[in-house]
Amino acid sequence: MMNKLCFTLMTALTLMSCNQRENPLLTESTAPFGAPEFSQIKSTDYLPAFEEGFKQQKAEFDNIADNTEKPTFANTIDALEASGKLLNKVSGIFYNVNETDADEIMKETEKKVSTMATEHNAYMTMNNKLFLRIKKLYDNKTNLGLTREQEMVLDKYYRRFVRGGALLNEEQKKQLVEIDKELSLATIQFGDNSLAETNAFTLLVDNKEDLSGLPDDVLTAARERAEAAGKKGWLFTLQKPSWEPFLKYADNRELRKQMYLAYTHRGDNNNTNDNKAVIKKILDLRLQKAKLFGYNNFAEYQLEDKMAKTPQAAYDMLIEIWKPALAKAKEERADLQKLMNESGVEGKLEAWDWWYYAEKLRQLRYALDEAHLKPYFSLENVRKGVFMVANKLYGISFKPLRVAGNVTKDTEIKESVPDVYHPEVSCFEVLDSNGKHLALYYTDYFPRSTKRAGAWMNNIYDAAHVGDIDQDPMIVNVCNFTPPTSDTPSLLNIDEARTLFHEFGHATHGFLTKCKYPSVSGTSVARDFVELPSQIMEHWAVEPEVMKQYAVHYKTGETIPDSLIAKMQAASSFNTGFETTELVAASLLDLEFHMQGDYSQFEANAFEKSVADKLGLIPEIAFRYRGTYFNHIFSGGYAAGYYSYLWAEVLDADGFEAFKESGNVLNEEIGRRFRTNILEMGGSEEPMELYRRFRGTEPNPEALLKGRGLK
């Protein structure tokens, strides 16, 4: 009996030992290139990995601060840049997956980690011994023999510590930590509410007659969407590939109105996901933070180290664009009103009519039907096109390692290649002209209920070559494009094709960096400079010479005909009054939100209306993003910075002129110059310095107005 009991206990212990698994986030990856082993990671692995990562980096901070040797760049800044290896790894993986495929465990982890991260950042920036080491270097930087990159890194650390509270008194430091904790949680809540609101609305139509005007591919996607939801009929959602064609093509005016109002009232429905009170809380907390540092408002605090430097400079630039854009939008409104009334619809043009009649007018004026264009822009061909452009300009190539097929089907699986976090994700190796490995590049293109709206680029791992770290970048592009159906591949509209090129431009900034320090590598640049590589890339998407090399009919293999290209060019400035007005309006709204010095009487909708009235925004056009779903500024990194898209457009429009002036938009010499002076340099020098080196002069804003057909 005793022997049997011992045997049973030993067996149980052995089984327990066998069932114990190591947290894959706490071990070195065995995948090629050290890539994340996504399929091995469980949602419950993240929190303990974060806890260990914070613990390890705190110990590294202590070692640097307690070093009795005289501060040097190597034993202080290099050491800081090399610290947090585990934390950076866990953060890169977690925040990428959390934006695309979060479950409830990850959402709760995010909230816990946000508080931990605030305390962790304060632990570093409010460590007086550590700050004094940095300050001694900063005060003596001209005598240290630093490279320009090292100077920029040192400047960045000094600013980070000052903005982190190093010069505040003890009471103010406590206030700052509490403000940052509340801010972090509030921005998470805003994003969660926005996602919930987007997913909450569906429009199920069971009478096909109510869907007249919609193209066959849109109807097929809606029918398959309904089938996937276990419903009969046609299902439409607030995902862009669903709502946008509905507003463009649906003849049923009442249904267009229903879809438009649902889209523009996200976060403004007086329910549990309402964001109006969250906006007020975020703005008030940001103002408190700015005032701790002696600024009048958050916009002043935010723009001090950007290219614009002041809110007024950004505001003035926007107003210069606003005036001609609004004037053109009013002309467009008159044309659409006339068309609507001539077509037999009485009354006034409404906001939910604009997309519909603009599409009708475009077809009338230019005989350009989007349905005739899309077959030439299959996602696969557009991606081939952007790879071709990158190869011509920068000499790089892309080796497919794992390619996702028709959404969840036909996925090519290889055991010897990097893992992916979802079956729809593809992975490529980026190679330089000499065959040298540069980076891993992941793409994730289609909407999911777990994925936030929009399109973006993330660094899964930053480039870092300091201390014992020798890490090449791993970059991901995430989008929400029109997915394939059962009988057609993913066919993109022109806006989607440009978006693919745009996000790829961000990716090139990430994987072509030659910076040694992660603080300035890749996209770690001023916010109003970061959009230059992405926006300049958009130009190639619609250049005739380039389209002839990638825009091929998915069925026939026919290259896009010259007649279609001519129509595209003729219509290139069509509706740009509308497009520019809604964009500039949102940029001005963002600045107005953050230029206030008191929010005691603030109410989001009333404030938004006052801004619209002040600008003279016509009621047929809404802000591109109303406050209640303006994720860029309330749950992203663009607070008081949405103007950056237009600021950078001054640069990208002027920069692309260099290629046009040469007579060859794929000019290799100019492409290499852009790579060398912009993409490889990251934030290692002042942005305008880099731009002048590439272009030979400062940018001319006339190119923007010309490009948008406003001059």
Which residues are annotated as catalytic?
503
Nearest to 684 by CA among 565, 534, 529, 548: 529
- End-to-end CA, the chain: 96
> In Å, what is the CA distance from 466 to each residue of 57, 74, 78?
16, 10, 7
Nearest to 439 by CA among 408, 413, 473: 473
Q: CA–CA separation, 683 vs 533, rounded Å?
A: 13
Query: Which single residue is written with the structure tokens 């001023």?
Result: 526
Nearest to 391 by CA among 155, 550, 230: 550
- 3-state SS assignment for residue 669: helix
> In Å, what is the CA distance from 249 to each residue of 358, 518, 537?
10, 47, 29
How is residue 325 written in tokens?
């854009």
Residue 400 phi/psi, 5-degree rounding, is -70, 130
Nearest to 550 by CA among 485, 501, 478: 501
Nearest to 628 by CA among 272, 266, 281: 266
Query: Which single residue is written with the structure tokens 């408190």?
Result: 288
Q: Where are the alpha helices (DSSP H) in 207-310?
A: 216-228, 240-249, 253-264, 276-292, 298-303
- 3-state SS assignment for residue 698: coil
Nearest to 311 by CA among 643, 87, 701, 679: 643
CB 460 within 8 A of CB 36: yes
Q: CA–CA separation, 516 vs 518, rounded Å?
A: 7
Provide the β-strand partners of residue 461. 474
CB 463 within 8 A of CB 515: yes
> In Å, what is the CA distance from 115 to each residue of 149, 279, 292?
32, 19, 20
Pairing of strands 397-402, 426-431: antiparallel
CB 464 within 8 A of CB 439: no
CB 560 within 8 A of CB 376: yes
Q: CA–CA separation, 491 vs 371, rounded Å?
A: 10
Cβ count within 10 A of residue 240: 21
> In Å, what is the CA distance from 38 to each residue of 88, 185, 223, 692?
16, 26, 33, 42
Q: CA–CA separation, 129 vs 587, rounded Å?
A: 41
Q: CA–CA separation, 46 vs 60, rounded Å?
A: 21
CB 635 within 8 A of CB 191: yes
Q: Where are the alpha helices (DSSP H) in 140-210?
A: 148-163, 170-200
> In Å, what is the CA distance from 152 to each residue of 85, 468, 527?
21, 21, 16
Q: CA–CA separation, 277 vs 271, rounded Å?
A: 11
CB 352 within 8 A of CB 259: yes
Question: Residue-wise over 606-618: b if at least 16 C-beta within 10 A, else e?
Answer: ebbeebbeebebb
Q: CA–CA separation, 585 vs 322, rounded Å?
A: 8
Dihedral (Cα; 577, 580, 582, 587), 10-degree rounding: -150
